[in-house]
Amino acid sequence: MGHPQPPYPVVIMPISSPPASGRRVSTVTAETFFISRHQRPGGDMPVVNLTANVIKRLHCPEGKRRIEYCDRQSPGFYVEVRRTTPGKGTYYLRHTTEQKKNQHFKLGTTTEISLSQARKKAKTLRAELVMEKTPQKAQKSTKAVPTIKAFVEEKYLDYIKTRKRSWKTDYTHLRSRVIPAFGDKRLDEVSHADVAQFHNRMRNEGRAPATCDRQLMIIRALYAVAMEWELVDSNPAKSVKLFKEDNKRERYLDEAETKRLLDVLLKDRNRPVCCIVLFLLSTGARVGEALKAKWSDIDLTKQTWRIPVSNAKSKKERIVPLNTSALQVLVEARRECGGQEWIFVSPKTQAPFKSITLVWHRLRDKAGLPDFRLHDCRHTYASKLVGAGRSLYEVQQILGHSNPKVTERYAHLSQDSLLSAASSANWTYESDDDNHGEGSDNNVGDSTEEDDAPITSRVRKAS
């Protein structure tokens, strides 16, 4: 009576004699194979005696994406087989660090090196890793990896200061959230689970998805630098999924709202701030770009404003055309600034404004627009361009979007202008019964009242 078939595929070592008692046998191939006592039914890491014969017959079991065949002779040595590459595997050495983390070292594929060569490489590499585990080496290695707090304050902060304009914002996030959560841990002690729990905990505390994702991206960037400097081997935040909730807001002023806001901006006593907001509405510029604008950047002859690389978010210089209302704002700003280098100057400090948020909140409340942000001036400007029939490419160039996908958020606003454009190519059909001359076959079929309506005989383009 034959032995029962195992409930999972078997690709193990061949034997020439009957199997020992208690071993399950499969006859699914030309040769007989036995299953290791260490293999778990349905497991992805069966322990086997890897031989050249086994390597020739590698395959991934049906229903699995990958499987690891672990060698009984060499602990940690295994060959991985993927469903996408049948008959071919990759040799690896699995190593467990002192922090109980697994490291996987690729040795080569089964088509590149032989089994004996792979075993030899694994043996050499294992010896090197063991040497690294000596007490002296371990102590030195531990001291070489700083805590997150030390890394941020002693190394990372100086690095991002020279490379990122928003480094102050990043440092604020690091100091207020990341360091309190992970600051006392060494960089190599933070796990994927730690970061994922931190990310989810913020969301459960009621933080916006975009805020949670921003924290995650900051941690990713921090670890990317740590990996570049060879302080850690992996990035625990890399595979944590973003919430990716769409929080883009499109707020535009309608005609009534525009009138109310302009009434306030033209009459309010705080002229410098009113000029700034009017300038934003007239140019579509970002707030920071307007606050840093200098008179030397203005060309009144060409009616253009040059935004230098140092002030542009896209890190590219761009030229903004100045319309009539923008030029009128500049005339008033010239009277207010008193010959200063900057266009918009605070009367109190005689220096450029750093923020106009408080005054703006008073102005928008006065206009009955409590939900209208300064950045919405930019959206309003873009909506007027699109509504006037300007192309998305033109809008992208004026607003300085480095990625055209950002400009596509305004695509739906162009439908009315597209309909108007399509109407300009309209054709008017007119009837002229005189054109139906003798010999033409007008008796095509039974005529109805609808059929007797005027039929096209002459076409002229509509004006």
Q: How far apart are CA 326 and CA 383, in angstroms?
A: 17
Q: Collect all residues with Cβ–Cβ distance below 8 Å to 187 and sequence separation of at least 6.
A: 145, 146, 147, 148, 151, 223, 226, 231, 232
DSSP state of 71: E
- Closest Cα to residue 122, out of 56, 76, 166? 76
The pLDDT tens digits for 160-179 are 998 888 899 999 999 999 99
CB 290 within 8 A of CB 354: no
Q: How far apart are CA 317 and CA 49, in angstroms?
A: 65
pLDDT for 73 beyond 60: yes
Residue 416 pLDDT grade (very low, low, confident, very high; cuts 50, 70, 90): low
Q: What is the pLDDT of residue 165?
A: 80
pLDDT for 139 beyond 90: no
CB 196 within 8 A of CB 204: no
Q: What is the pLDDT of residue 143?
A: 54
Ranking 214-218, 283-287, 289-293, 411-415 by mean pLDDT, the lowest is 411-415
- Of the chain, the end-to-end C-alpha distance in Å amounts to 94
Residue 58 pLDDT grade (very low, low, confident, very high; cuts 50, 70, 90): confident
The pLDDT tens digits for 77-103 are 999 999 888 889 999 999 887 777 788
Q: Which class for 31: exposed (0-12), middle (13-18), buried (19 or more C-beta within 10 A)?
A: exposed
Q: What are the distances in angstroms from CA 428 to CA 215, 423, 457?
A: 60, 11, 11
Q: What is the pLDDT of residue 8?
A: 41
Q: How far apart are CA 7 and CA 9, in angstroms?
A: 7
Residue 440 pLDDT grade (very low, low, confident, very high; cuts 50, 70, 90): very low
Q: How far apart are CA 46 and CA 65, in angstroms?
A: 15
Helix, strand, coil tally for the chain in percent (to 5): 45, 15, 45
Percent of the chain with pLDDT over 90: 42
Residue 429: its H or E element: strand 427-431
pLDDT for 19 beyond 50: no
Ranking 248-252, 260-264, 344-348, 362-366 by mean pLDDT, the lowest is 248-252
DSSP state of 438: T
Determine the distance from the C-alpha atom of residue 162 to the mean position of all C-alpha atoms in its chain, rounded to a whole number. 23
* For range 142-158, the mean pLDDT: 87
CB 44 within 8 A of CB 24: no
CB 272 within 8 A of CB 347: yes
Ranking 95-99, 149-153, 207-211 by mean pLDDT, the lowest is 95-99
DSSP state of 176: I
Place of tokens 């604008």: 293
Q: Collect all residues with Cβ–Cβ distance below 8 Å to 237 and sequence separation of at least 6.
A: 192, 195, 216, 219, 220, 223
Q: How far apart are CA 397 and CA 386, in angstroms?
A: 13
Ranking 55-64, 65-74, 143-152, 449-458 by mean pLDDT, the lowest is 449-458
The pLDDT tens digits for 444-453 are 445 444 444 4
Ranking 38-47, 56-65, 160-169, 222-231 by mean pLDDT, the lowest is 38-47
Name the average pLDDT for the chain: 79
* For range 438-463, the mean pLDDT: 44
Q: What is the pLDDT of residue 432?
A: 53
Residue 212: its H or E element: helix 209-228
pLDDT for 38 beyond 70: no
The CATH class, in words, for 25-140 is alpha beta
The CATH class, in words, for 255-418 is mainly alpha
* For range 203-226, the mean pLDDT: 93
The pLDDT tens digits for 283-319 are 989 899 999 999 999 999 999 999 998 888 777 888 8
CA dihedral for 445, 451, 452, 456, sign (positive or negative):
negative
pLDDT for 414 beyond 60: no
Q: What is the pLDDT of residue 433?
A: 53
Ranking 60-64, 92-96, 244-248, 321-325 by mean pLDDT, the lowest is 244-248
DSSP state of 414: G
Residue 172: its H or E element: helix 167-173
* For range 323-330, the mean pLDDT: 93
Q: How far apart are CA 35 and CA 28, in angstroms?
A: 13
Q: What is the pLDDT of residue 363?
A: 96
Query: CB 152: neighbour CB atoms within 10 A?
Result: 22
The pLDDT tens digits for 242-268 are 987 655 667 878 889 999 999 999 999
